[in-house]
Amino acid sequence: MMRTIPADLVQRYEAEGWWTRDTIGELLARGLAAAPDTEFRVHSAVRPWSGTFADVELTARRLAAGLSARGVGAGDVVVFQLPNWMEAAAVFWASAFLGATVVPVVHFYGRKELGYIIDSTKPKVFITAERFGRMEFAPEVSAGVPVVGVVDRDFDDLLADEPLAGTVATDPDSAALIAFTSGTTSNPKGVVHSHRTLGYETRQLAGLYPPDRGKQLTAAPVGHFIGMVNAFLIPVRDGTPVHLTDVWDPAQALALMKSDGLHVGGGATYFMTSLIDHPDFTPEHVPFMKYAGLGGSSVPAAVTRRLDALGVIVFRSYGSTEHPSITGSMYDAPVDKRLLTDGDPLPGVEIRLAEDGEILSRGPELCVGYTDPALTAAAFDDEGWYHTGDIGELDADGYLSITDRKSDIIIRGGENISALEVEEALLAMPGVAEAVVVSAPDARLGEHAAAFLRLLPGAAEPALDDVRAHLEGVGLARQKWPEELHLADDFPRTASGKVQKFVLRRSVAAQSE
């Protein structure tokens, strides 16, 4: 599943110091040893927790020793599906100490997605929670996994009395992480990062952050790539406190700003707009929102200008799970670049535009491939360029603006939704002859899914609630459900019969104006 990285790129990345021989376990061990008393807190209505880096590390090392005793070691796969709890950090750190390949899964993925991930990665370990929100442990999904631990049931049984010392020797070119993300295919794509690519991304992303950003509240799911890096890697590298929340509640976040001095520093636009639109928001909160690093979904200029008018320093970035940090504006860049572009290429990153405007990128934090070799072959060329599927343009100063996407992805609040996956689920609904799903503008989330259905003759017209009930029945994660429904006698098509989705996207966009 690993792509071949051209030898000249490897030499350049090593010579520049972008790639080192450090493993993620070694990076973590050094950081934790340097700042053991750093605060680690979980702000949760169901599972609050407060302690230090040293407390979490002890749990992680006891878990690592327990897993080692059960035959888990370097190169083995550990899957976890947990909310933003302390145990998620313990599992991630324990896997790194063992040299295992960790697979974080967002807690809102349903049975269908989780089953696919487990089937694809063949883990030795699966750690989850008994239940959280709509997530509930389903033993049949992980029936073939040798070691299963469930928080609030038998997770503590996996902890050895004596913690693991040091880290297990591991090849830094081996897989450190597999991050699953929905894409243009119906099943999630497994993106493989090595210790070297993940290590550089940690340093790269940390370099974008202002030094006076304050104590950050992390609400992005730690099962998501950027949420995981922001929660479990960058703070350990920098010796800064970790504050997690397992549910995004703007009222709670605004209250924590005043009670605990916590800051919210951006992410998908939804996080910022939900704060400034909340009735509890006052000018007193602005100092705790000093910076807003925005990315992960479309960033409307109206939002960046609105935040700027409040006194928030906005800067944007562009990347993906495959290549997490491609471009970015620094917090002190010219205001028009920060507000209206997605930044210029970050250190070590190269970009170029194909004839059709598609963005090609390569750099030290570019992933090493997919779990599916066919996807790897399709996305990477022999010179090491990643074909992003996004369309962009460069201004005279080399700043990039994303103008469109070739790939059929809906980015809702920073999460990727495969239109094809939703369409396939809708086609299983009685009376549906054809289903088309496109992105629609969303003032809070950037985008949401809009479904167009062509019905069989004589079929009863479904309501949106009927569609959602069907999707719940087939186990599709709720955030993927369409938020608007349109019925059509037929669709605009090409001469070959292919539906022209761009026409439908324009239609729903016009209706939202």
Sort strands 415-418 and 409-412 into parallel, antiparallel or unpaired: antiparallel
- CB burial string 305-343: b at 16+ within 10 A, e below: ebbeebebbbbbbbbbbbbbbbbbbbbebeeebbbbbbb
User: Which residue(s) pair with 129 in the sheet?
Assistant: 151
Predicted local confidence at residue 370, as pLDDT = 97
Structure tokens at 480: 């993927």
Helices then strands, each counted (H, E), the chain? 16, 28
Q: Which amino acid is at 162?
A: E
Tally of CB atoms within 10 A around 389: 18
pLDDT tens profile 275-327: 998 999 999 999 999 999 988 656 777 788 889 999 999 999 999 999 999 99
Predicted local confidence at residue 109, as pLDDT = 86
Tell me if residue 90 falls in helix, strand or coil. Answer: helix
Q: Above 50 in pLDDT, residue 495?
A: no
Q: How far apart are CA 513 and CA 275, in angstroms?
A: 23
State the distance between the two ends of the chain, measured CA to CA, in whole angstroms. 44
Position with higher pLDDT, 339 vs 498:
339
Position with higher pLDDT, 106 vs 93:
93
Task: Assess contact for 484 and 451: CB atoms under 8 A.
Answer: yes
pLDDT tens profile 36-53: 999 999 999 999 999 999
Structure tokens at 171: 């090849």
Q: How far apart are CA 182 and CA 223, in angstroms?
A: 13
Give the lowest-confidence range in 5-19, 173-187, 282-296, 348-362.
173-187
Predicted local confidence at residue 496, as pLDDT = 47
Position with higher pLDDT, 389 vs 79:
79
Q: Above 60 in pLDDT, residue 505?
A: yes
pLDDT tens profile 244-259: 999 999 999 999 999 9
Q: What is the mean pLDDT of residues 370-391?
A: 94
Task: Assess contact for 417 and 446: CB atoms under 8 A.
Answer: no
Q: How far apart are CA 386 and CA 384, in angstroms?
A: 7
User: Which residue(s) pair with 327 in the sheet?
Assistant: 318, 345
Q: Which amino acid is at 138?
A: A
pLDDT tens profile 195-210: 999 999 999 999 989 9
Q: How far apart are CA 365 and CA 205, in angstroms?
A: 10
Q: Rounded mean pLDDT of the chain?
A: 92
The CA angle 238-241-245, to the nearest 5 degrees, is 125
Q: Tell me which architecture the domain covering 409-512 has in CATH.
A: 2-Layer Sandwich (3.30)
Q: What is the mean pLDDT of residues 268-280?
A: 86
Q: How far apart are CA 72 and CA 133, in angstroms?
A: 30
Tell me if residue 458 falls in helix, strand or coil. Answer: coil
Q: Which of 276, 274, 349 is nearest to 317 (CA)?
A: 349
Q: What is the mean pLDDT of residues 154-180?
A: 97
Q: How far apart are CA 101 and CA 121, in angstroms?
A: 10
Q: How far apart are CA 92 and CA 234, in angstroms?
A: 13
Residue appearing with tokens 């922001």: 230
Q: Above 50 in pLDDT, residue 111?
A: yes
DSSP string, 354-371: -TT-EEEEE-TTS--EES
Q: What is the mean pLDDT of residues 81-95?
A: 98
Give the predicted TM-score (pTM) of the model. 0.84
pLDDT tens profile 425-484: 998 899 998 899 999 999 889 899 999 999 988 999 999 999 999 999 999 999 999 999
Give the lowest-confidence range in 263-277, 323-337, 389-403, 440-454.
263-277
Of all residues in the chain, the percent with pLDDT exceeding 90 is 76
